[in-house]
Amino acid sequence: MKPAAERRAQSVDAAFNRVLRAEQDARESVAACRQQADEIIARAEQDVRAIINRADRRMRNAHSIADRGIDRALAALRQPPSAASEALDEPTSEEIEALVTELARELTEPPR
C-alpha cells in the first residue's frame, strides 16, 4: 500500500490535471464560439451589402423612370398647343382639391 503522503500527492496531481484540462476545454470552446461569431458577422455583412446593392439598384431605376417622365413632360410642354388641348376645360377647384388630397394621402400614408 502507498503511503498517505504519496496518495495525497497523486490526488492533488489528478485534481490539478483535471483543472488544466477544464481550462483547455474552456479555451477551445471560446475559440469555437469566436469562430462561429465571425462566420455569423461575415454572413450578416454579406447580407447588408446585398440589401444596399438592391436598394441602390432600385433607386437608380426609380430615378431613371422619373427622369424619363420629366423628359416626356418637358417635350410635351415644348410642343405647340394642339386644337385638342385648347378645347380642354380648365379643372374645377373641386377637381384640383381632390387631386391635391389624393396626392397628400399618397405621400403621407403607407401603401395599401
Say if residue 88's pLDDT is above 70. Answer: no
What CA–CA distance (Å, rounded) separates 65 from 59?
Answer: 10
Q: How far apart are CA 42 and CA 78, in angstroms?
A: 53
Domain ranges of the chain: 4-82
Q: What is the pLDDT of residues 30-64, one digit of tens each?
A: 999 999 999 999 999 999 999 999 999 999 999 99
| Cα(47)–Cα(41) distance, integer angstroms | 10
For residue 18, name the pLDDT band (cuts at 50, 70, 90).
very high
The pLDDT assigned to 44 comes to: 97
- High-pLDDT (> 70) share of the chain, %: 90
Q: Coil, helix or strand for 88?
A: coil
